[in-house]
Amino acid sequence: MTTPIQRRLLTGGTLALLAVLFIAIIVLSNTLLRGARIDLTENRLYTLSPGTRAVLAEIDEPINLYYFFSDRGTRDIPMIRTYAIRVRELLEEMASKSGGKLRLSVIDPLPFSEEEDRATAFGLQAVPVGASGESIFFGLAGSNSTDGQMIIPFFQPDKEAFLEYDVAKLIHSLNTTTKPVVAVVSGLPVGPGFDPQRRAMRPAWAFFQSLQELFEVRQLAPATLGTIPDEIRTLVLIHPKDLGEDAEYAIDQFVLRGGRLLVFVDPNAELDESANDPENPSAAAFANRSSNLPRLFRAWGVNFDAGRVLLDASAALQVQSPSGAAVRHLAILGYRAESMNRDDVITAELSSVNFSSAGALAMLEDAALSLEPLVQSSTDAALVPADRLRFLADPATLFQDFVPTGTTYVLAGRLSGTAKTAFPERSGAGHRSESAEPVEIVVVADSDVLSDRLWVQIANFFGQQVMNAFANNGDFVTNAVDNLTGSSALISIRGRATSARPFTTVERLRRQADARFREKERELQAELAETERTLNELQQQKDQTQATVLSAEQRAELQRFQQRKVEIRRELRQVRRQLDADIESLGNWLKVINIALVPLLLTAGAIAFAWWRRRRVTAPRGAAA
């Protein structure tokens, strides 16, 4: 039988042993489980996408990442600090999953420090914040073993959905030391060349010049497009009019072996010069200006009618009519952010894209590929024969017999999926009957979207061309080519959910209160209009000598309205107060649940468990048996 002293020693020794065991477990877990964690967020916010993991696995040489964040300068900006934690955690997760190929440095560039000079040397932006005008850094710089550098000048919280894509793109660009090769095959004069009419050199279109700044651009003639060189990663096909079968087969095999395609077809290419004949000027008016890829589209499941153009009353832009008046042109369309796919990196940050005499894309019922819209029309749109634009003199006549269908049409979209060849009858060395991986194709039902007149003004400034863009057509093309030239892993990274979690119940209460507020405002406006009508009627009943004197009926009507106006304003204030009361009540209930109810439930559970254990220990052995 143990004595009290022995029991105390045994208890103390047990507690000491448990403490040592607890410390040992913590040390072992920190060593063996370093970097391990469980992501329990609703949208797997802190889990890297498979595409990002693949980009990290492709890193050949070490890449240095320098994360510049002004910690002291943002102490009074909680929104920036919260997002900065999100950025840092993502960078740390990428570094931990890179196998040591990513080397992350976190730097706080204090004012007038060497770190601030270093951030400026990289090209990061110092953004002034607050009333004092103090500037902060919040960006990322990267460098590779060949002195290549890439930066994200400033992490904007409103672009959090594409945070992972932007960082992965920076890493992928640093891992690729040469410019991607992009081939352009065009039935329109988009590149530089000789203009026989002016007998002078013709400059390239603005979008073509932008591509040349970022990629190695090669022009291929449509007539000689029998094979596409292996080093070409992306093919830009513009207005493929009357392509030969061998050329279509070359495009088919290029896509099936993993090449990326950006194609612009058109029911009415307004800048098509192929039909121009100086000896017969009228021939151009009757020439066919449409382009299509019927055999390839049929194999991919794309439905495109090259004989019909899209009219959209909601997106129609104003042009000058022959009479000099400004009229809206149903075939010249300007689409804003609400008409674009905000979840796709190509169109996520665009604000406007202009089209002219565009067509529409759809998918056949048995299509093997899927179409993700990038730009869509409004429901106030319809397709009409392209011949209506052939001899159009006054754009106002397009409104005649225009009947919207009430459905939306796709002007640009992304095709993806496993594709089969459009030439199953062919065979031979290197022939592919099916793609080994999902294809990446972007189709645009307009080629005029590339023309300078729809998006940019070019001026000559001391012999230099100065471009002033008024729409994002050029950005749309550059984004599409940039996305397609990336690796398959990079293309697969889509927009992610944001860390911001709105209070949906509070937002619902606000919407309901706002609806009641607007209803009361409409009621007040209606009574005001009725009062004005009554006063006017009473005024008309008076003779000229009494015109400036209010009658008893008018004074009573005005007094009644003033009283009712005070009552309605009191009701409006009550609506606002009720909203605050509802939100406060909701907050109080949450506090009760978090502070009182949850601990009570835990306590009750612990008491119930202790009671069950005690009953089990004190139960007779026979009863237990």
pLDDT tens sequence across 69-80: 998 888 888 888
Please state which of the ranges 267-276, 556-565, 570-579, 605-614 shows the lowest mean pLDDT.
570-579
Q: Which domain holds residue 88?
A: 50-174
Name the more confident of 148 and 493: 148
- 78 and 101: one domain? yes
Mean pLDDT comparison of 42-51, 65-74, 570-579, highest-scoring range: 65-74
Q: How many domains does the chain have?
A: 3
Residue 39: what pLDDT? 59
Is there a domain that residue 584 lies in?
Answer: yes
524 and 478 both lie in a single domain: no
What pLDDT is attached to residue 624?
A: 45
Do 123 and 200 sit in the same domain of this protein? Answer: no
> Which of 448 and 589 is assigned the larger pLDDT?
448
Same domain? For 432 and 574 the reply is: no
Mean predicted confidence (pLDDT) in 394-416: 93
* Judgement on whether residues 435 and 400 belong to the same structural domain of the protein: yes
User: Are 137 and 209 found together in one domain?
Assistant: no
Q: Categorize the per-residue pLDDT at 625 as very low, low, confident or very high, splitting at 50, 70 and 90.
A: very low
Q: Give me the percent of the chain exceeding a pLDDT of 70.
A: 72
Task: Give the Cα separation of 373 and 339 in Å (integer).
Answer: 10
Average pLDDT over residues 344-348: 90
DSSP class of residue 301? T
Query: Mean pLDDT for the chain?
Result: 82
pLDDT at residue 372, as a whole number: 96
Q: What is the dihedral of CA 208, 316, 358, 301, to 10 degrees?
A: 120
Among 416, 413, 486, 480, which residue's Cα sits nearest to residue 450? 480
Of residues 595 and 390, more confidence is placed in 390
**Residue 99, burial from CB neighbour count under 10 angstroms (0-12, 13-18, 19+):** exposed
Q: Which residue has the higher pLDDT, 499 or 374?
A: 374
Residue 421 maps to a domain: yes
Are 531 and 459 in a shared domain? no
Put residue 404 in one of left, alpha, beta given phi > 0 → left and psi -120 to 50 → alpha.
beta
| Residue 476 within a domain | yes
Mean pLDDT of 101-110: 93
Confidence band, pLDDT 50/70/90 cuts, at residue 129: confident
Shared domain for 511 and 382, answered yes or no, is no
Six token digits for residue 481 = 């080519």
Structure tokens at 523: 């009621």
In a domain, 546, yes or no: no
Indicate whether 163 and 199 sit together in one domain.
no
On the question of pLDDT at 544 being above 60, the answer is no
Residues 184 and 160 in one domain: no
